Amino acid sequence: MIDVLLLADLHGEYGKMDPFLDLNPEAIFIAGDITNMGPAESASDALSRIDVPTFAVPGNCDPRDTIDFLEHSDCVCLHGAHINLGKISIVGLGGSNPTPFNTPFELTDKQIEDLLHMVLRKRERALHNVLLSHAPPFGLLDQAGGNHVGSQSIRRHLTEFDLVCCAHIHEQKGIVTQDGVKVVNPGMAALGECAMIHFGSGPREIEIELITV
């Protein structure tokens, strides 16, 4: 069993970092919106307190230079990239599809499609295949104002994964399963919300706990 802590939507509020770390994860995934419109360096102190392997993507509320900041931190920036962590393959996708708010890091769905296509061609599948994305798949944990606002491209590639870790829509904290794929939004880390993901020893043996510290 490998225990991974999933955080998202910190929005510059790092007061719960110590209680998160007290959950004793073996690794941490961060699904974007680390800052609240920047600057990227404002996350330095919080991230420096993490002493386990950490894999992150920026969100739409993070400035684009967050990619460079993460690449020069102790985190692994996975935007448009992939990595194998033992039995776990992780593909990363930062930013979001367009919003009405002109936030700093938005991508067209065509850009998302191209990034996913490029990374998936290079990825080596593992026992557990994970997408770490700020944006949710269209139709899954993506309702805002009664409308579905997730990414169509992510939804088209859903079955390439066993687990999709997403964020972005604060009111859509939860876990759903579609076509055998689990999708989780851990809620707002700014409010102490997170998820603990337990990766088992068999295919699709993935258990998820939603936790508030």
Percent of the chain whose predicted confidence (pLDDT) is above 90: 98
Residue 1: predicted pLDDT: 73
Cα 201 from Cα 181, distance rounded (Å): 17
Residue 139: predicted pLDDT: 98
Domains located in the chain, CATH noted = 2-212 (3.60.21.10)
Q: Each residue of 142-182: pLDDT tens digit?
A: 999 999 999 999 999 999 999 999 999 999 999 999 999 99
Which two tokens mark 52? 């386990």
- Taking CB atoms within 8 Å and a gap of at least 24, the contacts of 107-114 are 109/151, 109/152, 109/153, 110/153, 112/151, 112/153, 112/154, 113/153, 113/156
Residue 183: predicted pLDDT: 98
